[in-house]
Amino acid sequence: MICILIILAINIITFLTPFDKLSSLIFLDPIVLAFFVGQLARIIKIQSNLFYQEIPYEKLLSIAIIIMGSQILLSKIQLLNPMMIFWIVVCILGTYYISITFSKILGIKKPIALLLIAGNCICGPVAIAFASKVIKSNKNDISTALWINTFSGFILVIILPILGKLLEISPYNFGLWAGSSIQSTAQVISSAAIYSENSLETAIIIKSLRILFLTPFLVLLSFNYNYREDISKNKFTLGKSAIPSFLLKFLIVIAIANFFDLLILNFFQNNFFISNTFNLILSSGKVISKFLLCLVVFEISINFNIFNIKNFAPKLQIYSLISSFVLLILSYKFLVI
């Protein structure tokens, strides 16, 4: 119980914290913090029911994903140039397929490779948690992917501003580069703020766009993983097996949220009560979804020993960095130059 209250407190604090003024706190992401709280709880061997009760993480993860659908609003895309959107899609797809090729070369198992790719391409720990539900990952794979993704992101946060200075990239272009290539939102903001305050706004907008691609990316994962698995087992129930039920509910929530968003933008934009009520519902959904994800990550982490040499997985770290640098190079090529 106390552990759950700690996770709740972390979510409230990070939700109220202005990231742009705390750029040095690279790990100020509630999901990452929940992972390390789980590790701390494991180290001090919390067993009392007062401190810890087992969490039904699979059910909570499904609920978190469905609620998160309310945050995917297409109206945000209107702020960007269509060609820029196109090239970001090219970078994500290019990274996905090139990373798949490298996973075969390095002998990386497909489930863990897909988790790392999801984290690198979209939004770090959140994407990993969502992707794990699509490909039915075990707790050990999820924990390994979470900490390796965090480590890779930390390296990019430090390296990218140095590369930006060496290449004499403008603050605006650096914002494009950071937003399109670094994993989590907190890490994107940290790297952009380190480089220049003028990079922040652009980086946040581009990162928000990448998060919007979470939905099609999950569908891509579902078809490339579940559908091929069914073919290998001679099952051809495409609609039901390729897209899991929780993902269908996720898409329904997206459709409902976008319907009301467009309705308010076109007919009730000047209505203070309706607009603010809708924004309050969206903000509440974001907080609840993030809190549930943190509980899921905590439950997974408490059963994972990060200090076990087997879980250190140097080959996976190298693979994650290769995948990260593929996205870094593609983003520089298509968005910065």
pLDDT tens, residue by residue, 298-309:
888 887 877 776
Instruction: Provide the pLDDT confidence category of residue 23 given band limits of 50, 70 and 90.
Output: very low
pTM of the model: 0.83
> Does 251 or 113 have the greater pLDDT score?
113
Tell me what pLDDT residue 10 has: 63
More confident residue, 47 or 122: 122
Residue 113: per-residue pLDDT:
95
Instruction: Write down the pLDDT at residue 40.
Output: 83
Give Cα separations from 143 to 14, 195, 230, 247, 307 (angstroms).
22, 31, 26, 22, 12
Single out the residue of 71, 68, 93, 89 nearest to residue 80, CA to CA: 89
Confidence of residue 175 (pLDDT cuts 50, 70, 90): very high
User: Residue range 179-186: average pLDDT?
Assistant: 90
What's the confidence (pLDDT) of residue 43? 78
The pLDDT assigned to 109 comes to 92
pLDDT for 186 equals 80
Residue 3 in this model has a pLDDT that exceeds 90: no
Tokens representing 32 are 């990452």
What is the residue-averaged pLDDT of the chain?
A: 82
Cβ contact 34:297 at 8 Å: yes
Please give the average per-residue pLDDT across 162-186, as a whole number: 93
Model confidence over 49-96: pLDDT tens digits?
Answer: 444 556 677 788 889 889 988 888 878 766 567 888 899 999 999 999
Say if residue 264's pLDDT is above 80. yes
The answer to which of 57-71, 97-111, 196-210, 300-314 has the lowest mean pLDDT is 300-314
Whether 179 has a pLDDT exceeding 80, the answer reads: yes
Q: What is the pLDDT of residue 184?
A: 87
For residue 307, give the DSSP letter: T
User: What is the residue extent of each domain of the chain?
Assistant: 2-336
Q: What is the model's pLDDT at position 26?
A: 47
DSSP structure class, residue 80: S
The predicted-structure confidence for 126-164, as pLDDT tens digits, reads as follows: 899 999 988 888 888 999 999 899 889 889 988 999 999
